[in-house]
């Protein structure tokens, strides 16, 4: 099997039955960009549960267990309150639910910034306890030493530059980055620094489009855009955002569905049937033989 975990489909709601297949690898993802070009853009979405991973798996190249789960799943005000234990629990669930996509788990705030050794301790737990293929951490040149430390010890790292939500207090908000020439140069410099440190890919979030294009063209590793440019080597979105689960979403999100309305309508119909005693019917009850 392509994962260290397997669901018991005889007792689990996790259907359809997972089919064994070869999971994408870090070298395969990195190799999709050759000679500075990516002909087949990389598809990445967030996933936080086993069932969600199953539904997304065949359509994606990578699944990101993002620390955005703090807001999406737990209703926290930001990603800063997310713990390592939370990331590990959800990371393991996503690995169990997927058989094709490469799974990357976010390093939460406070789990890696203090020192490369601290980052290794956290990342090694994530890798061992989830079965994921790599970790993602925020920061450019300032995290190059840490990225090199992890990469040299067998932990694949995806970097994250531009708008870095864990630094929202220092940045002063979630606005797009790169509007000044100084910031433009810093973002491109950050990308080159994480590439030289050994990152296998980098997320560019919330940067003005010309910078995203320049960054993509200047790096040999894949650049995954979110609020960046269609010219990036791939794209990532928070799945709940693109499915229309929330009323308020970032400007860069395209809603592909309106699941919030679908769920609300189903709950309304269910409530009406319970109150009118039209549910359950004979089809949903057990009768004496």
Break the chain into its structural domains and give their ranges: 26-242
Q: Which of 43-47, 130-134, 183-187, 273-277 has the lowest mean pLDDT?
A: 183-187
205 flagged as catalytic: yes
Q: What is the per-residue pLDDT for 183?
A: 80
Q: How confident is the model at residue 1 (pLDDT cuts 50, 70, 90)?
A: very low
Q: Is the pLDDT of residue 167 over 90?
A: no
Closest CA to 119 of 139, 102, 91, 101: 139
Residue in this structure with the two tokens 């713990």, named with its chain if needed: 83
Class of 26-242 in CATH: alpha beta
Cβ 222 vs Cβ 194: under 8 Å: no
Q: How confident is the model at residue 178 (pLDDT cuts 50, 70, 90)?
A: low
For 99, the token pair is 């058989």
Q: What is the per-residue pLDDT for 10?
A: 57
40 is in an annotated binding site: no
For 171, the token pair is 């940045």
- Round the average pLDDT of the chain to a whole number and report it: 91
Among candidate residues 85, 129, 205, 209, the one labeled active-site is 205
For 96, the token pair is 């169990």
Locate the DSSP E strands across the chain. Answer: 42-46, 62-65, 102-106, 134-136, 157-162, 201-205, 223-226, 234-237
% of the chain at pLDDT higher than 90:
82
pTM as predicted: 0.90
For 38, the token pair is 């990516």
Mean pLDDT of 161-169: 71
Q: How confident is the model at residue 128 (pLDDT cuts 50, 70, 90)?
A: very high
Q: What is the per-residue pLDDT for 251?
A: 86
Per-residue pLDDT of 11-51, as tens digits, reads 566 555 556 668 999 999 999 999 999 999 999 999 999 99
247 is in an annotated binding site: no
Per-residue pLDDT of 77-100, as tens digits, reads 999 999 999 999 999 999 999 999
Q: Is the pLDDT of residue 203 over 60?
A: yes
d(CA 189, CA 134): 23
136 is in an annotated binding site: yes
DSSP summary character for residue 34: B
190 is in an annotated binding site: no
Per-residue pLDDT of 238-264, as tens digits, reads 999 999 999 988 888 999 999 999 999
How distant, in Å, are the alpha carbons of 138, 186, 255 from that of 142?
10, 11, 34
* Beta bridge pairs of residue 63: 45, 103
Locate the DSSP E strands across 148-239. Answer: 157-162, 201-205, 223-226, 234-237
d(CA 71, CA 53): 18
């Amino acid at each position: 099997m392509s994962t260290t975990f397997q669901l018991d489909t005889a007792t689990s709601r996790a259907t359809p039955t997972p089919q064994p297949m070869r999971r994408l690898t870090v070298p395969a993802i990195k190799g999709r960009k050759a000679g500075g070009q990516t002909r087949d853009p990389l598809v990445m979405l967030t996933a936080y549960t086993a069932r969600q991973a199953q539904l997304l798996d065949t359509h994606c190249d990578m699944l990101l267990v993002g620390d955005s789960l703090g807001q999406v799943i737990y209703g926290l005000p930001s990603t800063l309150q997310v713990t390592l234990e939370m990331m590990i629990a959800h990371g393991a669930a996503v690995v169990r639910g997927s058989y094709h996509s490469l799974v990357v788990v976010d390093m939460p705030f406070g789990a890696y910034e203090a020192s490369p050794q601290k980052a290794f301790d956290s990342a090694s737990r994530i890798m061992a306890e989830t079965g994921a293929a790599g970790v993602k951490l925020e920061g450019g040149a300032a995290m190059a030493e840490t990225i090199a430390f992890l990469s040299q010890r067998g932990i694949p790292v995806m970097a994250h530059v531009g708008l870095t939500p864990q630094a929202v207090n220092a940045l002063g908000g979630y606005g797009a980055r790169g509007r000044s020439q100084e910031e433009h140069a810093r973002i491109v410099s950050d990308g080159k620094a994480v590439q030289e440190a050994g990152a296998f890919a980098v997320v560019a979030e919330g940067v003005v489009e010309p910078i995203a294009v320049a960054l993509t063209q200047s790096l040999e590793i894949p650049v995954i855009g979110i609020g960046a440019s269609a010219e990036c080597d791939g794209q990532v979105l928070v799945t709940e955002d693109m499915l229309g689960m929330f009323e308020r979403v970032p400007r860069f999100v395209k809603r592909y569905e309106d699941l919030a309305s679908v769920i609300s309508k189903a709950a309304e119909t269910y409530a009406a049937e319970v109150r009118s005693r039209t549910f359950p019917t004979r089809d949903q009850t057990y009768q004496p033989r």
